[in-house]
Each structure stands twice: as C-alpha cells, then as structure tokens.
Amino acid sequence: MTFERITVHPDRMGGVPTIRGMRIPVATVVAMVADGMTTEEIIDDLPDLVAEDIAAALRYAAEAVRERELPLRPSA
C-alpha cells in the first residue's frame, strides 16, 4: 500500500509523517478525528487540507498500528 498524500522528511518536523509535505502531522489530524471533529470542522481549522487528506491520515494510522502490539489495560 502506498500513501501518496503522506510524506516523511527527516529534516522537517523531526521526521514525523505529515500531510503532503506541509507542517501538519498525521497524528494531529488523527487526534482531531478522535476528539470527535467532523471532516468539515478539521478543514475549517486547517484550510490547507481536503477531505482526501483526512482519509489518507486515518488509513496511514491504521496501517501503522496494524502489526504492532500496544500496551493495554487488562480487562476486568
């Protein structure tokens, strides 16, 4: 799977994945979605983005954690 809208430049933003080379980290967009913001609200806050950027950020985040184990609290 390739991510044409997600870029990583070691000399920009500490090498974190960003949207289309802009100073908008994927993590920021994913956090906004997690906080309940709609696509329209995110674009209002970050007008350089389009809906496809938000979808790409979510797909990238899903793929990034697909094969990793994360620490979870044991269920009761």
**Which CATH number belongs to the domain containing residue 44 in this structure?**
1.10.10.10
72 domain residue, yes or no: no
14 domain residue, yes or no: yes
Domain count, the chain: 1
Structural domain for 28, as ranges: 6-66
Average pLDDT over every residue of 29-38: 98
Mean pLDDT of the chain: 92
What pLDDT score was predicted for residue 76?
Answer: 60
Distance of CA 44 to the CA centre of its chain: 17
User: CA-CA distances (angstroms) from residue 66 to 28, 32, 33, 50, 63?
Assistant: 19, 20, 18, 25, 5
Strand, coil or helix: what is 56? helix
Give this prediction's pTM: 0.86
76 domain residue, yes or no: no
Token reading at 57: 């950020």
73 domain residue, yes or no: no
26 domain residue, yes or no: yes
